[in-house]
Structure 1
Amino acid sequence: MKPATVLLVFAHPDDEVLGCGGTIAKLSEEGARVFTLILGEGITSRQSHREPNLVAKELADLKNSAFEANKRIGVDPEGVYLCHLPDNRFDTVPLLDIIKQIEKYIEKVHPTIIFTHSQYDLNIDHQITYKAVLTATRPQPSHPVKEIYACEVLSSTEWMYPQGFQPNMYSLLSEKHISAKIEALKCYSSEIRSYPHPRSIEGVECLAKWRGLQVGCNYAEAFQVVRRIL
């Protein structure tokens, strides 16, 4: 069987590791070709007014962190694409422009599988990314994407009330896979928080163990199947 080609489509640097880092380490190990598309620049939402030039060094460091983090879960840095949309301001960008960015990279890599955000996330950029992915992958003859999975991203998915994320697919992870996810997350040092913040190393480990408990293993990542065409 031909190895899968996987495209990760996420809003911010670190979302891809939080959402499916362990699963991507596992798929990469099994021979899948994996590409990462990060739509937003990150960081600038922490400013009172968006001024990327004032945080140019921090943005450059975050870009380098994305390359290194993805490398640790098996993604070639040349397969990591960043689009630099305004952080936490995707609602100021025409949706069609975001859709066209996603379509561009679907055409480039021809993925059969996409991992992306849940529609139930609190973060507005995550919601818009999900909507844009669905539009960019409308089922049509010869369209390459056959499977779409929504991830949970700590400090967004669990903060949406009432809780909407209900997983119906689990990826069982070994110690090696969860370790790769943790090492990748450590590359995003500017994004990690101290426990008990959910976006902490301990928080990520707790979630992986909890999802593992639900399906009888030590570690797991949970997903919602958005579409699966057999």
Structure 2
Amino acid sequence: MLNSDTRLLVLAAHPDDEVLMAGGVLSKLRVIGGAAMVAIAATGATSRNPVSNDAAIRMLEKETQDAMTCLGWSDIRVARGGFPDNQMDTVALLEIIKWVESVIRDFRPTLVITHCLGCTNIDHRLCFEAATVAVRPSSEQHIELWTAETPSSSGYRRPWNFEPSLYVSLKEDEIKAKIAAMQCYASESRVTPNPRSPEMLNALSHVRGSEAGCSFAEAFMLIRGFA
């Protein structure tokens, strides 16, 4: 589990996914004293802003930095793959794997959190596919792999739905930090009853907490762990 020796890499398909998947864990790890890095595979902008891509990308980069500051990580490293937004299936999977492997070689994580296979978004699923290859155990690396739910994307692909098997208990201020971080993404924030709204993110943290016998939690699927 999380401790001061943890080196966490959050592999997100788009800006804001890192918060939706693991904002609470990032906030908790900052307090514990571990290390963290975020890798964002796609631009997050090109599919919706064909005219002003550069401006939209710069805006999202600033929003990511603001979000990380809300989580206590103003100094966090963010790697960007620059893959086409919602079109990562137009890129050879090997190229995505090579990029993830380069990030892993650079940061040397002990834990990778990425999207679950049950997401509707193709970019999310390709991050999962790339991560499962990049973190394969060897004599030189033993990296835990957790997959996360992404509200509004996971939960709609039966029979591959997200089924949590691991919970991280959180404090109320860590959930508040997650919600504040999500609000930094002005173009991605939503109002109730959307799953990304502040109220629904808070409600989900209560539901996951109730499943684990605590007040608040984020849930994950343990793909590979080491004891």
Q: TM-score scaled to structure 1, two decimals? A: 0.93
2:69 paired residue number: 71
Distance 1:46 1:188, change over 3 A: same
Q: CA deviation at 1:163?
A: 5.4
1:174 paired residue number: 171
Misfit runs of 4+, over 6 Å? none
1:57 paired residue number: 55
Distance 2:173 2:160 in 1: 30
Distance 1:15 1:79, change over 3 A: same
CA distances 1:123-177 after superposition (whole Å, capped 9, x unpaired): 110111000001111111111x421110000011123234521101111111111
1:109 paired residue number: 107
CA distances 1:19-58 after superposition (whole Å, capped 9, x unpaired): 11001111111001000000010122225xxx4x623212
Q: CA deviation at 1:112?
A: 0.6
2:156 paired residue number: 159
Distance 1:96 1:67 in 2: 29
Distance 1:163 1:102 in 2: 24
Q: Secondary structure of the residue that 2:162 maps to in structure 1?
A: coil
Distance 1:90 1:225, change over 3 A: same
- Residues 88 and 124 in structure 1, CA contact (< 8 A), matched pair in contact too: yes
2:22 paired residue number: 20
Q: How does 1:1-230 map to 2 (within 5 A)?
A: 3-46=5-48, 51=50, 54-143=52-141, 145-162=142-159, 164-230=161-227
Does 7-16 or 195-204 show the bigger shift?
A: 195-204
Q: CA deviation at 1:72?
A: 2.0
The amino acid across from 1:141 in the alignment is S
Distance 2:131 2:143 in 1: 13
Distance 2:52 2:180 in 1: 29
CA distances 1:103-138 after superposition (whole Å, capped 9, x unpaired): 111111110111111011111101110000011111
Q: CA deviation at 1:2?
A: 5.7
The amino acid across from 1:196 in the alignment is P
- State the number of aligned residues: 225
Distance 1:159 1:76, change over 3 A: same
The amino acid across from 1:7 in the alignment is L
Distance 1:74 1:80 in 2: 14
- Residues 70 and 80 in structure 1, CA contact (< 8 A), matched pair in contact too: no
The amino acid across from 2:195 in the alignment is P
Q: TM-score scaled to structure 2, two decimals? A: 0.94
